[in-house]
Each structure stands twice: as C-alpha cells, then as structure tokens.
Structure 1
C-alpha cells in the first residue's frame, strides 16, 4: 500500500452534520454494494471465487489497519480480536466466498434479490436465539420463500438451482455474522474493528483457497479493474460506511440497502450484461422486497 494513501485517507473530511454523514454513508453502501455484483461477475473471469473473496478482503483489511493504526487511541484486547475474527469469518470468509461461488451460474440481478433475504434469515436466527416472533414476521418469512420459489421457477438455466442454494447459504452466513456482531464485544474504534473483521476473514478465506488449489488465471484488464474496485470501494469504503450506520442509526436504516441493492444490481446487469428482466424476475423481486419491508416494519413496531 503506498505511503501516501493512509495519510490521504486520514485527511478526508466527512460532512459536518450528522445527517450529512448518514446520507453519505447510505449513498456509499447503496452504490458500492449494488454495483459489487457486476464487479464480481467481471472479476470471476480470472479469479476463482474463494480466492477472489479472500484476497480482496485481506488486502483491504491490511489497508484499513494502517489507517486505523494512525488514529486508534485504544487497541483491542485479545478477546475483541478473536471476536472480530469470528465475525469476519462469517461475513467475509463464508458469506462473500459463497456469494462469489454461486454467481458463477446465477445472474447479478438474481443474486442481489436472493441476498435481500438476509432479514428473513435474521428473523429465524432471532427466533432460535429465544426472541419471541410475531405471526406477521412469520408471514414475511413465508413471502420471502415464495419469492425465491418464483425466482427459480422463472430461471431456465440448468445450473441455477445449485447456484441459488449456495447464494442462500451466503445470505444465511451474513445474517449469522451480523447477529454475532451485535452480541460479541468488538473493538471500539470503527476503522480498527472493520479492519480486523475483513482482514482476518480474508486471511482465512485466502488460506483455504490456496490449500484447495485455487489459482488466478490469465489476468486481463477488466477482471483486474473489477478486483481493485471490489477491494477499494465495495470492501474498504462500504464496510466502514455500513459500520458507521450500524453504530449511529437504527437497524432499519442500516439495513435499508437490502431494498436498494437489488434495484441497482438488476439495472446494471440489464444495461451492461444484457441480462433479461423477465416477468417472473419482476414478480419475485416485488414479493421478496415486500417480505423484507414487512420484516423491517414489524421490527420497528417491536422497538416502539
């Protein structure tokens, strides 16, 4: 990492008002993660899936660690570091890696819609953890499952079912990692906590990928550019922005990217890759987003 980059990042000034910072963080998360599906699609032309996830998160984590080291006043304990590694393994090692693996056979828009089921899995995990779940929340879960069924019925690709199952597993691991992040003690500094999570999670993914025989194929300009974009924008910038939203807004606001990301991904997939937007895709997208909206609505009612 160039020496000038940490200094440049520490000199970047966020908006002065809290509302401006929240708006900036939302814009970064919406655009970065909505476009990440297209970037993963391009990067997979040269990078195998688990190595792609591992390397971009490992390098991004190292970069953020240099930034955090210049500003952190309190260093994490061994327990906090261990917890960051656990959460990072769930969010980065398993979730991001499985998403890239599934996207070898599933379109960008379809993958984004399926990842929107994270709040539904979060509801199920909360129920297992002992939180009472209202009947309406189970209706939201049922709607989400119905949307997934419609989505797969409308996909004529012979390999879409296995890819969809893998992506659903990625969504499950993301929900599990987010649940652990709310329960475990993590470093107080946002940059340091994010750096440890994605860095340790990326390191574990990279080791598993290398041990499993994954190697980078002939590297073209497009996949390389997509990899750099994923590392700098979809990982470093987006994870910091998402961490800020978790700490300074309600869970509903922080998770609102689940509404917007599929729209961005479907639009980019149709415009740049020519992915078809069928009637089944539109119906399934609407059903899944309604189910997610219901989950958020019941969660807000519970908090009132």
Structure 2
C-alpha cells in the first residue's frame, strides 16, 4: 500500500522505527561507555515496561491471562533480551554504524524462520536471501568486524533472536495492544538483569550526564515509543513492511556515528551495506 494511503497512526509508527531506532545505536554506544551493557539494557526495558504497565492499569486495562503472559515471556527473551541485549554487549567492541549494518540482516532471518510457520518463499525472496548472505560475508571481511569476531557473532545471534521473535509474534498468544509491549519489555528486562548478575557485571563508577541521558533516551524513545510502534506494525502490516526499518536504520546510524562520535566506516563496509539493503528490498518486493 502506498504511504499516502496509510493511516496517520501507521505513518507515525513507521517514522518512529525509521528515525528513532536508527538513532538508538548511537545512544547505546554512548551508554556503554558508562554502564555495563546487560545492566543498562535490563534497566532500560524493565523501567520502560513498568511505566507503561502502571499507566495502562491506571487507565483500567485488565490483567492478561496466564497464556498471554507466557507468550509475552517468550517474546521478551527473544526480542529485548537476545535481540537487543546482545547488540548492547557487542557495541563495546563494534562501532554503532557497523552494528546497525549487521542488524539490517533481520529481514533475512525473518524470512528463514517464517518457513517454520508455513510461509513458502518466492523466487525473489530466495534471491534476496542469497544476496544477503553475500553481504554478511562481505561485511565480515572488512576491518571493523574482522578485528572483533566475538562482536560479529553476538550481532548475528541478536539478529536471529529478534527475527525469531518477530516470526513468533503472529502465532503465540500475548496481551493486546500496549499491554503486550509492556509485559514483553518487563520480561526482557528481567532476563537481562538476571544475565547481568550471572556474568558478574559491576558498575565501576556512577554514570555521568552522558550515560544517564543515553539511558533516558533509550527508555522513553527506543523502548516505550519505538518498541510499541514495532509491535503495532507487526499486527497491522505485513512482516516485510514491519521490518523495512532495516533499509533506513543503518544509514541513520552510520551518519550519526560519523557526525557525533567520529566513527569511520570503510569502503568495504559501505559496499556490504548496499548489498544487504538490496537483499532486503528483494525480499520485501511486491508488484
């Protein structure tokens, strides 16, 4: 459907994903300079989800059923915990722009996991998948990820976790509307905080203004606004359209990283970005 025919709320949701989520990579990169990554991600999602839940209960929203809570728990582990938590860990070693380039492969993994739920891929989608794999290989040959194989692995696992959660979101029972966003973030935040304790993270020093500002931005815009917009789009538009933020986020992240942090992305990484974006376009292409 052309953008001119979309409802204003749907357009606003796309805007949130394209621009706000593109800027979260910069905020994460700034935040991990002051916070342990799993701790920061856990606080971010638990705080965002708890604030949303309190507001919804104040508005009279009913409690979800046990089955809906189990579905929200599954999505919370796959998406906020694995999908975003591993990105946060990886950005201690990898630049924000390169992290966004790897996460652009989410639609490729989404197509792969959609086959588990009965989706039969078209020839164009298979062509996009093969092109995307080539882009991943090209990206990993560049200096940015070759110097950090652990960062590359974490980012690919994050992409796979987020994509699996996106594919499951249409099948598993979950609380309706914003209540689903709130509980998914609460469960994801709890999983991240438990992981932080398990690996022995410690806050070495009290974060400064930059660290607190990054956490606040990620909580309000990246989580409460951005995540709710994503779950809304998953229910109202096709999965291909909902994951189309992957076209724009890498460009926004690379530009912001270069302007504010002086990050350098080489020619090979830029070529890999073009290949990955082209692959996502092929997967999402409709006549």
Q: TM-score range by the shorter chain?
A: over 0.9
TM-score, with normalisation over the residues of structure 1? 0.87
- What is the Cα deviation at residue 164 of structure 1? 1.0
Q: Is the 8 A contact 2:139 2:145 kept in 1?
A: no
Residue in structure 2 matched with residue 236 of structure 1 by the alignment: 224
* Contact 1:115/1:167 (8 A) holds in 2: yes
Partner of 1:208: 195
Cα distance change of structure 1 residues 133 and 249 upon mapping to structure 2, 3 Å threshold: closer
RMSD (Å) for aligned C-alpha atoms: 1.8
Structure 1 gap ranges (5+): 1-16
How far off is 1:72 after superposition? 4.6
* Contact 2:46/2:185 (8 A) holds in 1: yes
Instruction: Give the match for residue 81 of structure 2.
Output: 93
Matched, 1:24 2:12: yes
Match of 1:284 among 272, 276, 280: 272
Specify the alignment match of 2:44 in structure 1. Answer: 56
Conserved 8 A contact 1:151-1:280: yes
The answer to whether residue 178 in structure 2 is matched with residue 191 in structure 1 is yes
* Structure 1 SS opposite 2:254: helix
TM-score by length of 2: 0.92
154, 159, 165: which one aligns with 1:177: 165
Q: Contact between 1:105 and 1:159, CA under 8 Å: does it hold in 2? A: no
User: Relative to 1, partners in 2 of residues 1:27 and 1:132: Cα closer, same or farther, differing over 3 Å?
Assistant: closer
Residue 30 to residue 72, structure 1, CA distance change in 2 (3 Å): farther
Provide the rounded CA distance (Å) in 1 between the counterparts of 2:108 and 2:145: 26
| Structure 2 spans left out of the alignment, 5+ residues | none
Tell me: CA distance 1:296–1:101, structure 2 relative to 1, closer, same or farther (3 Å).
same
- What is the Cα deviation at residue 49 of structure 1? 1.6
Contact (CA 8 Å) 2:170, 2:235: kept in 1 or not?
Answer: no
Aligned residue in 1 for 2:142: 154
Contact 2:98 2:265 in 1 (8 A): no
Deviations 1:166-189 (A, max 9, x none): 10100000001111111101112x
1:102–1:166 contact (8 Å) kept in structure 2: yes
Deviation sequence 1:174-207 (CA, Å, 0-9, x none):
001111111101112x111100000111012112
Counterpart secondary structure, 2:185: helix
Distance 1:235 1:68, change over 3 A: same
C-alpha displacement of 1:134: 3.0
* Equivalent pairs, count: 282
Distance 2:107 2:64 in 1: 29
* Deviation readout 1:101-120 (Å, 9 max, x if unpaired): 11111111111111011111
1:246 aligns with 2:234: yes
Q: Do the aligned partners of residues 18 and 132 (structure 1) sit closer, same or farther apart at CA in structure 2, a change above 3 Å counting? A: closer
Distance change (3 Å), C-alpha of 1:196 and 1:139: same
Deviation for aligned residue 1:133? 2.4
Which residue of the partner structure matches residue 116 of structure 1? 104
Counterpart contact for 1:115–1:168, Cα < 8 Å = yes
Alignment check: 8 A CA contact 1:127 1:133 kept? yes
Q: CA–CA distance in 1 between the matches of 2:60 and 2:15?
A: 26
Alignment partner, residue 257 of structure 1: 245
CA–CA separation in structure 1 for the residues paired with 2:271 and 2:195? 38
- Partner Cα separation in structure 2 for residue 268 and residue 76 of structure 1: 39
